[in-house]
Every structure is written in C-alpha cells, then in structure tokens.
Amino acid sequence: MIKICFILLQVSGSLQSILESPLLFTNISSHVLVANSSSVFNIISPQYNEFQSSKIDTCKMHNKLPNLWGRTLRVATFHCPPFSYLKNWGNDVLHGSFPLGIPDGVEMAVFRAISNRLNFTWKIEEIKGRDKWGQDVNGSYKGGILGTISQNLADLAFCGIVIDNTSINVMDLTIPWTHYCLTFLVPLHASSFRFAILRTFQPLLWFAILLATLGTTLSYWILSHSRAKALSMTEAILTTIGMLSLSSFPAHNSNRGTHYPLLISWSIYCMLMATALSSTLVSHLTSPAPVMQLNTMHDLVEAGMYWGQDYKQDQTRLFNLEDPWHVKLAERFKLETNPYERVARVRKGNYAILGGKLDGTEPYFMEEDTLKDTGLISNLHVMKECLSRQYAAMGLTKRSPLTEHVSRAMRWLLETGLVEHWQADLVRDYGNPEIKMLFHTSGYKGPQKLTWAHLEDTFLLLYIGLGISAVVFIIEICIVKFQIMNP
C-alpha cells in the first residue's frame, strides 16, 4: 500500500517580521498528514503531541470513471452563443469533433471533453421553435429543453441551463460550471437629442441673449425715428431677429444715420453668438455629454424603457416580483414578432435587451448576436445592476445514472482551469468585436455619425414653418376671394 505524507508549516506574521525576530519561529504549527485509501492522520505541534485519526470514507477520491464504450447519447441544445454555436449537425452522430474552423461554444467544449473522458458518442437533438426552454402546461412541460428532457426525448441537455426550482424539478443537474449576471443592454444615456439646440447654452445665457435682443430692437426702433421714414416695431423686431439668425440684413443705404453703429455692433455680436451656437450644437450632437446612465431597474422605469423577446418566459424566473421597480418593468414586455423588430426598436432608443453578462478574463454579453453588424451596439452599454446572478449547469433526465459521473468529470475540468481557458479563448477569437468593446473602452465613444434622431428637431422647425406659411397662404387667399365677392 502506498502512503503519501505531507508536511505543512504554518508561520504567523509577515516575512519581514519573521526575518527580524527569529524568536517567532517558536510559534510555528506543523501539520503532518499521512494519507492512505481510507484515512487521514494529522499531528499538530506543540499544542498536540499525538496523532489524531479522521476517517474520510465518505469523501474518498475515486480515480476511475466509467467507460461507456461508445454508447450514443441524445443531446438537446440550440444556438446560444457563446455557450453553443449550433449549425446543421442534428442528423449526425458525432465522435467528439466538428468541421474544422467552426466554433462550437464554451459549453460544447466542456461537453466534448466529458464525452472523451467517459467515452461516449452523441447525436444532437436541436431545439426547434422560438421558445427554447419550454412552457408549463397543466403541470407538465411542453417544448424547449425542459419539455425535451421531461419527456425523455434526450439524455442530456445544455445551453446555459439556469439552476432554479423549475429546472431542479424537471431534470437532474450537474455541478455548476459557470455563473453569469442576468441584466440588460441599454442605451448609453437616458436623454435623447430632442430639443438639443436649447441645451447648447445654459438658461442664464439664453436669458441674456433674449435681453440683448429686446434691448437692441428697442434701440433700433427709437433711432429709426431720426430718419424721414420711421420703422414700425414689427419691422424692427424682424430686422434684429433676422440679423441674429444670420438670415437677413437691412438694405444698403448711403444715408445710414445714427443707427449704423448699432447695426454694425449687433451684426458682430450675432456672428459670434451664431458661431458659438453652431459649434456647441455640433459637439453636442456628435458626442453628447454623459448625462445620467441607465444602470438600475429604477433608471429604466423612470426613462420609459421597455423590453422584449421572441417568446414569453415565466416572469418569476427573471424578476423579483416583490420589488415594485421589477414589477413595473416586467409589465412593459413586448413580444418580438420577427428578427428585424428588435433592430428597429433599438434604433428608436428606448428599448432594453435582456441577456447574460459572463465574467472572467474575457467578459462578454450574451444577446444571441441579433445586433451583429448593425452598428447599434456602440450606442449601448451593459447595465450594472443584475436582475439575478444565475449559475449554469448541464441537465440530465431524472434519476439518470450518469449525473454523478458527468459532475465528477466536470469538476476535474474546472479544477484544471480548462473551462476558464476555453471561455476566454472562444470569446477572444469568435466573440462579436462590438460586444467585446463594451468592456474595454470608457463611456466616451467619440464622435458618431449623425442620424435622424440627432437632427429631427431641425426638420421639425422646418415643418412648423411650412405649416404656418401654408395656413397664412390659405387665409390670404380666403381674404382676397372674400374681397372680390364683396367689393
């Protein structure tokens, strides 16, 4: 019988204090561990001078795992990157390999390693339809992973299966292999670009501009009385406002009179203010100042955000229904009827995307790559608050004899660090670059392309002007016709 002996020395204090005070070595506690197949012995000095035996039959290490001799298991999964990148492999019996160059996912890599360790092959049973998890129908689950496992249509299932009461009641679960934060991908800022022209200056500065305009208008109207033909107040107002907007200037007149210095000073003032306004407006539109970010459920509700998926889930699995803010946001669910509806909603700027944030050396947000290559992710960020922190495991049919063996093989993979390595490697090589940039850049995104959302107020002003002009034109026509009919 082979016995293994370990000697553990425990020294109290820092390294510097030990070197400076050798007497501290009297406080050393030595632990001598002698292990065989069924017992662990330890001795501690100077407190204890005899061996103390501790039986560990219940936690004995079994080095051998069963050999399934190529048995074929039915495996249920679906396309849920980065856990599983599933293509058209459902009809193939696989022996631990996929076509070269195709990423198979983090959890797929874990599963493949377990299959090699236990020596079994598998046939993928792809989950069809929008609902990937299944619905409770009169006490039994239909469709999705839960329905597939509960009806014994598959022996094993994986794709980030959450450990909760529902999954525990339906299937046997292995030890968790990862955890993630269930949260939302939300717009960068709570504010929009509406009325951006009013936010370029502080209110006090707008008030000063208004006073300057009124004072100049009144002065111009008073000075115009020194001419042969005095201006009306309406003409004076239109002149000063036209100069302020750089859209008009008084007609050239050789006999300029005393009001000419006023017009020169006002025109210079208008030019400088228009330049300041335009430059500040462009800066605000292309790179707005970071106002309140949406980082909590309270922020989402107050900002009028709503969310949705392409199928309905049990809200109790997602939200804390005892929290009023969770309840309010849960009520704002809107079903996505087609793949393009999510993109359209995100473009409007008041839509949140539910997903999971993977932690680790290469963090990642799981949103099923629905926004890939749309250019919208750069305007989003990951909300800091978690709806819940969920643990993921693999699921097997109830009372499956393989549950313990799969868990032991998975524990070995976790202890070796292979799972963390595979996750970081796959995210680094195959993850959406836009998603990865969310975790490697600051909140400042730099100048961005102008869109309709940026300049909709400009068009709104134009439409208001056109509408007023149309109304005035119709009124004038009606007046002319009335005068003709009643000479």
Report whether 435 contacts 364 (CB < 8 A): yes
Q: Report how many domains make up the chain.
A: 3
- Torsion, CA 235, CA 237, CA 239, CA 240, rounded to 10: 160
pLDDT of residue 313: 80
**In the listed set 283, 318, 347, which residue is the last one of a domain according to the structure?**
283
Last residue of a domain, one of 259, 283, 307: 283
Helices (H), 245-372: 260-286, 297-302, 324-330, 339-348
Q: Establish if 440 belongs to a structural domain.
A: no
Let me know if residue 186 belongs to a domain.
no
Expressed as residue numbers, the domain containing 276 is 201-283
**How many CB atoms neighbour CB 435 within 10 A?**
24
Q: Are 274 and 262 in contact (CB under 8 A)?
A: no
Is residue 192 a part of any domain in this protein? no
Is position 208 within any domain? yes
- pLDDT score for 289: 55
Tokens of 394: 């693999």
Last residue of a domain, one of 35, 59, 83: 59
Residue 356: in which H helix or E strand, if any? strand 351-358
Distance CA 456, CA 70 (A): 64
Does residue 45 lie within any of the structural domains? yes
Asked if the structure places residue 474 within a domain, the reply is yes
CB 212 within 8 A of CB 269: yes
- Determine the pLDDT at residue 223: 84
**Cα separation of 40 and 45, whole Å?**
17
Q: What is the pLDDT of residue 444?
A: 52
Q: What is the DSSP letter of 376?
A: -
Closest alpha carbon to 118 in 450, 348, 342, 408: 408
Residues of the chain with pLDDT under 70: 1-63, 86-103, 189-198, 228, 251-257, 284-292, 440-451, 453-454
Specify if 297 maps to a domain. Answer: no
pTM for this entry: 0.61
User: Residue 317's pLDDT is what?
Assistant: 80
pLDDT at 436: 85
Query: Does residue 377 lie within any of the structural domains?
Result: no
Q: What pLDDT shows up at residue 196?
A: 66
Q: CA-CA distances (angstroms) from residue 467 to 444, 463, 479? A: 39, 6, 18
